Amino acid sequence: MPVTAASPVSGAALREVMRSYATGVCLATTYRETTDGRQHDAVTVNSFTSVSLSPPLVSICLKRDSAFLADLQSSQVWGISILDVCGDDIAVQFAQERTARAAAMACLGLVEAPRTGALVMGGKTWLECELFRCVEAGDHVVVIGEVLDTQQVAGRPPLLFLNGRFRAA
């Protein structure tokens, strides 16, 4: 039976269905160079996924018009800190606009990752990446990074996002 051309599903309908899919929650970091020095930024992401083991690639998806994306494309590096079950407050803080995120960063105690200078949460599970490729996809850009270094620390279970709420794994 042939497939008939139909209108795509609405963004609202897709969002509603995707709410039933559990995702991890991460803090992505990058920076921009300014005349006043390096300015770091961080955002909450739940679109983080492994892409390839050889070479080691991971990805995140960012809004096409995101200032964070522009900074990442300029610096060519980024970090990912995988949040644990106690990271829900961090996730909420870094899901806000850039000025609110900047204030939250001052209190977080992030450290520079050894290979890229992107910030990561010390003592937590993290990866640091170099930009491999960006792929435009609708209103977002899929950012693919080659993993340069990692740290995995045993501890509390990861933070999950499901049905619009944070949960423990």
CATH number of this structure's domain 28-168: 2.30.110.10
What residue spans of 10-168 are helical by DSSP H? Answer: 11-18, 67-75, 88-93, 98-108
% of the chain beyond a pLDDT of 90 = 74
pLDDT tens digits along 94-150: 999 999 999 898 888 899 999 999 999 987 899 999 999 999 999 999 999 999 999
**Above 60 in pLDDT, residue 1?**
no
Q: How many CB atoms lie within 10 A of CB 80?
A: 25
Model confidence band, residue 169 (pLDDT cutoffs 50, 70, 90)? confident
76 φ/ψ sector (left φ>0, alpha ψ -120 to 50, else beta) = left
